[in-house]
Amino acid sequence: DQQVKQNSPSLSVQEGRISILNCDYTNSMFDYFLWYKKYPAEGPTFLISISSIKDKNEDGRFTVFLNKSAKHLSLHIVPSQPGDSAVYFCAASWGFGNEKLTFGTGTRLTIIP
Amino acid sequence: GAVVSQHPSWVICKSGTSVKIECRSLDFQATTMFWYRQFPKQSLMLMATSNEGSKATHEQGVEKDKFLINHASLTLSTLTVTSAHPEDSSFYICSARGTGGHNEQFFGPGTRLTVL
């Protein structure tokens, strides 16, 4: 039962344009969401997070949007840079003090120079 | 800051042997560490939660006697894959919860285990 889904396994975007990565979840108990970036043979690196009390969080080129009614979140990267090419995972957790993360299946982002 | 290391980065072993993987938080103390496994082109699956000074909590379907976890100090957790078999071949990643944001976890670089 995949509670966190990333339906696009891959995405290619021209350098300088906006990259939009999507994530859907089924568990309405989730109240905290995170995005991680992962290079091959390395551990994930934390990018940005959002609490369910917000619908948007911004950090530099990265913005995460949360639509709770649709159980959907998205990560926007603008402008996209070649170094952004990686696999992006969204993750979710619920309950303060509950640290377990449920990961999506990942989306491979390729930035075309 | 918030650096997590893993050792070894890769290991090849014979079927039936045991393999120990270390996870260290280098510049912070981590009362809780997590162990994940990732199969090719799949998501990270949480195997167990490791708490310093107490027994680890294994996820459903993960055999605690096969995947032994020890969290003896605030900076070190170890995962031992006992009597490894080829189906245990995978990429094992640990993480440690930092003191920053809620549920922000810092991940190690991972260990590639190949069982022949």
Partners of B32 on chain A (C-beta within 8 Å) are 99
3-state SS, residue B78: strand
Which letter does DSSP use for residue A61 in this model?
T
pLDDT cut 70: percent of chain A above it = 96
Per-residue pLDDT, B27: 85
Q: Is B60 touching A (CB cutoff 8 A)? A: no
- Residues 6+ away with beta carbon under 8 Å from A97: none
Enter the tokens of residue B29.
Answer: 């103390």
Mutation to test the A interface, candidates B7, B44, B51, most A Cβ within 10 Å: B44
Q: Is A89 touching B (CB cutoff 8 A)? A: yes
Cis peptide before A40 (omega within 30 of 0): no
Q: Which has the higher per-residue pLDDT, B87 or B31?
A: B87
Strand partners, A103: A91
Neighbour-count burial of A94, counting CB atoms closer than 10 A to its CB (0-12 exposed, 13-18 middle, 19+ buried): middle
- Gap between the Cα atoms of A38 and B30, Å rounded: 22
Measured CA angle at B108 (ends B102, B113), to 5 deg: 135
pLDDT cut 90: percent of chain B above it = 66
- Gap between the Cα atoms of B116 and A59, Å rounded: 45
- The beta-carbon neighbor of B102 closest among A4, A32, A41 is A32
Partners of A5 on chain B (C-beta within 8 Å) are none
pLDDT above 80 for A95: no
Per-residue pLDDT, B101: 56
Measured CA angle at A105 (ends A60, B32), to 5 deg: 75
Per-residue pLDDT, B54: 82
Partners of B37 on chain A (C-beta within 8 Å) are none
- The beta-carbon neighbor of B44 closest among A9, A49, A103 is A103
User: Shortest Cα distance from B18 to chain A (angstroms)?
Assistant: 22
- The beta-carbon neighbor of B32 closest among A96, A99, A103 is A99
- Gap between the Cα atoms of B60 and B74, Å rounded: 25
The residue type of B98 is: G
pLDDT above 90 for B6: yes
Q: Could you tell me the pLDDT band of residue A61, with boundaries at 50, 70 and 90? A: very high
Per-residue pLDDT, B100: 58
Q: Which residue of A has its CA nearest to B9?
A: A41
pLDDT above 60 for B103: no
User: Shortest Cα distance from A41 to chain B (angstroms)?
Assistant: 7
Nearest to B32 by CA among B82, B93, B76, B67: B76
Neighbour-count burial of A10, counting CB atoms closer than 10 A to its CB (0-12 exposed, 13-18 middle, 19+ buried): exposed
pLDDT above 80 for A97: no
